[in-house]
Amino acid sequence: MSLAVAIKVSAELAASARKEAGAADRSLTGQIEHWAKLGRAAEVIMPAQVAIVLKRCAGDIHAIEDVAMRRQVLGALTAFQTQTPEALRKKIGLDQQILFEPDLEHPGGMIRITPDGKRTRGMMKGRTFVPNAS
């Protein structure tokens, strides 16, 4: 397990992440890490100029006035959506890391996914995953 590192983010980003974290049953840190991983994946599959335009339009594709650029952004997003999760994880180097996702069948629960694909139900206690008793 890697050591934690303290970073500073804007109050606006923290507030937005806190709101989304509650809806996704993640911690604030988990939500920011989730967004960072999505950003890494997006950068891998789209040209830098497309990523810049997407960031500037804040997700409002219709705000992109240049029709050709709007098509490029839509094409990049389509490519992103059609990638399998496994392919994206490999592209951004997450295929050898343990992942966690909310257990939608058990509110408050988590699922640990090891690089070999093994899924274990449990819950987080502090920053430690505790598997459910079998």
Q: How many whole angstroms separate alpha carbon 109 and alpha carbon 124?
A: 8
| Confidence band of 70 (pLDDT split at 50, 70, 90) | very high
Confidence of residue 134 (pLDDT cuts 50, 70, 90): low
Q: Distance (Å, rounded) from C-alpha 90 to C-alpha 52?
A: 23
Provide the 3-class DSSP secondary structure of residue 126: coil
Sheet holding 128-131, edge to edge: 99-102, 110-113, 119-125, 128-131
∠123-95-23 over CA atoms, to 5°?
40
Q: Are 122 and 132 in contact (CB under 8 A)?
A: yes
Instruction: Name the pTM for this structure.
Output: 0.54
The most confident of the ranges 6-20, 70-84, 94-108 is: 6-20
- 21-57 confidence digits (pLDDT tens): 888 778 888 889 888 887 877 777 788 888 888 888 8
Tens digits of residue pLDDT in 3-17: 778 889 999 999 999
